[in-house]
Amino acid sequence: QQYLEITLNKQKYILSHCPFEQWPGMEEGVVHLHGHTHGCIDSSDMNVLYKRFDVGMDSNNMKPVLLDDIEKEMLTRQNYKRH
């Protein structure tokens, strides 16, 4: 399997090394956490509008990302809607 599914604080997450353009539950608010990109796609629509987040240290001032910070950030984003 290419990813891990977990639930923390009643929120479902998909964890993977690489970012996905589509992931299970993305239309229902499942959050996708990934690394791999070294900050190169942080401004893409998927990482700004929707519930995908690069947790790599080089994308986050060389610091680990706290779950509280991820949860707060995800409150500002919308569920993906297919057009």
pLDDT means over runs of 10, the chain (83 residues): 92 94 89 80 60 87 92 82 60
**pLDDT reported for residue 40:** 63
Q: Would you state the structure tokens that stand for residue 27, as one six-digit string? A: 């239309």
**pLDDT reported for residue 21:** 86
**pLDDT reported for residue 78:** 76
**pLDDT reported for residue 76:** 86
**pLDDT reported for residue 83:** 54
In this prediction the pTM is 0.82
